[in-house]
Amino acid sequence: MDTVRIFDTTLRDGEQSPGFSMNTEEKLRLAAQLEELGVDVIEAGFPIASAGDLEAVHAVAGRIRRSQVAALARAAQPDIDAALRALEPAARPRVHVFLATSDLHLEHKLRLSRPEALERVGRMVRYAAERSQEVEFSAEDASRSDPEYLGQVALAAADAGATIINLPDTVGYTTPEEYAAMFRGVARRLGSRRVSLSAHCHNDLGMAVANSLAAVAAGARQVECTINGIGERAGNASLEEFVVALKVRGDRFALRTGIRLDQIYRTSRLLSEITGVHVPPNKAVVGANAFAHEAGIHQDGILKNPLTYEIVSPETLGIPARRLVIGKHSGRNALRARLSELGCPLAGDALEAAYRAVTEHADQSKNLSDRDLLHIAIRASRGAASTSPSPEPSPATALGG
């Protein structure tokens, strides 16, 4: 089975988004966990951007030993020099050089002609390759670039010493079929050169993971992504979604990664803790509702066999447990199971009374806490089920505990 290398850019592209900036200490904590997670490359920052960024990349490069550490640089000598300085202590450094290739960016942002940009890519990649163990080149806005010109740029970067060529969908514009075709076209152009192609997708149309999967199906062997999918604007491809998709759909992709799935949840929560930004409850894989079941039919299925409504078990991802949420859509089986977990098993008439009380209560309020459930259970077990659980006395007291 072939391996897809995971290039994590949470500390660079992720950190670029509003509300996610991290200081050196925080970057070090997250980098250590990313290494534990098993990412192949940690892009630690953009050293020319600020003294703080350079210091953070330098600190991460000095600490991390198993993952490679990458630093971003525009195709300009001062940027590359700053990246090289920041990466000095790295065991396995990678300089990541980029230049836009779409006419839109060349004309309006960089004011460069196509031949000028082509020449600059060759010159700057060579400059970096002569000074660093490994160079990656990114053709920014590749997905909106002329395919013929993109091929020429990829060739120039490879011939100048880049061994990884990244084709970003910088503005989240492409579709899976289109993106896959781009990879096949560039691979054809590169012929037998020993170059690995990389995908880097943004999520402006919600297709970053789908596009990344299309890229690996078309031969890309590195995917750039972020924890919780954070990143510029709508974010980058989410690492956890991509990796779990490859795992769950092994039948379709037959590709593996070096990611330790049981570290996914811990990494996601560490990022939230550091940045103070919570994961939306409905976020795939790591959201609080990703393994929560409220509908009675689903709960019944889950209790009989979790595979009925879960494509991967929460334990595999290091998620403490699935939740059977007791609400107005829940059934008796789930209520019986939840009350047993809470140490108050009910059966027969008492369960029936508790079920009716839960349904009425849940109709009126969004959330039923465990405390509410226990009050209902206690009343039901005494043959006095009520539709409005009172806050007093506490369940422990009422149960005589």
Report the interface residues with ligand KIV, using CB under 6 A: 13, 98, 138, 140, 166, 168, 170, 200, 202
Query: CB under 5 to 8 A by kind: which of ligand KIV, Zn ion, none does 144 bind?
Result: none
Instruction: Output 138 or 263, the one with its CB closest to ligand KIV.
Output: 138
Instruction: Output 166 or 299, the one with its CB closest to ligand KIV.
Output: 166
Instruction: Output 171 or 279, the one with its CB closest to ligand KIV.
Output: 171
Provide the minimum distance between the beta carbon of 396 and ligand KIV in the complex, in angstroms, as a whole number.
54
Whole-number Cα distances in Å, 383 to 311, 350, 379 = 40, 7, 6
Query: CB under 5 to 8 A by kind: which of Zn ion, ligand KIV, none does 140 bind?
Result: ligand KIV
Provide the minimum distance between the beta carbon of 202 and ligand KIV in the complex, in angstroms, as a whole number.
6
Residue sitting closest to Zn ion (CB) = 13
Query: CB under 5 to 8 A by kind: which of ligand KIV, Zn ion, none does 240 bind?
Result: none
Instruction: Output 167 or 380, the one with its CB closest to Zn ion.
Output: 167
Instruction: Output 200 or 379, the one with its CB closest to Zn ion.
Output: 200
Instruction: Output 99 or 286, the one with its CB closest to ligand KIV.
Output: 99
How big is the chain by its Cα radius of gyration, in Å? 26
Provide the minimum distance between the beta carbon of 12 and ligand KIV in the complex, in angstroms, as a whole number.
8
Instruction: Output 208 or 270, the one with its CB closest to ligand KIV.
Output: 208
Provide the minimum distance between the beta carbon of 5 and Zn ion in the complex, in angstroms, as a whole number.
17
Provide the minimum distance between the beta carbon of 139 and ligand KIV in the complex, in angstroms, as a whole number.
8
Provide the minimum distance between the beta carbon of 16 and Zn ion in the complex, in angstroms, as a whole number.
8
Is the distance from CB of 301 to CB of 330 less than 8 angstroms?
Answer: no
Is the distance from CB of 42 to CB of 8 less than 8 angstroms?
Answer: yes
Query: CB under 5 to 8 A by kind: which of ligand KIV, Zn ion, none does 138 bind?
Result: ligand KIV
Query: CB under 5 to 8 A by kind: which of ligand KIV, Zn ion, none does 263 bind?
Result: none
Provide the minimum distance between the beta carbon of 171 and ligand KIV in the complex, in angstroms, as a whole number.
8
Contacts of 244 by beta carbon, 8 Å cutoff, 6+ apart: 261, 264, 285, 312, 317
Overall size of the chain counted in residues: 401
Site residues (CB under 5 A) for Zn ion?
13
- The CA-to-CA distance between both ends of the chain, in Å, stands at 56
Query: CB under 5 to 8 A by kind: which of ligand KIV, Zn ion, none does 120 bind?
Result: none
Whole-number Cα distances in Å, 123 to 55, 127, 148, 158, 252 = 27, 6, 20, 12, 40
Provide the minimum distance between the beta carbon of 218 and ligand KIV in the complex, in angstroms, as a whole number.
18
Instruction: Output 67 or 203, the one with its CB closest to ligand KIV.
Output: 203
Give me 309's structure tokens: 């409504």
Provide the minimum distance between the beta carbon of 168 and ligand KIV in the complex, in angstroms, as a whole number.
3
Instruction: Output 184 or 233, the one with its CB closest to ligand KIV.
Output: 233
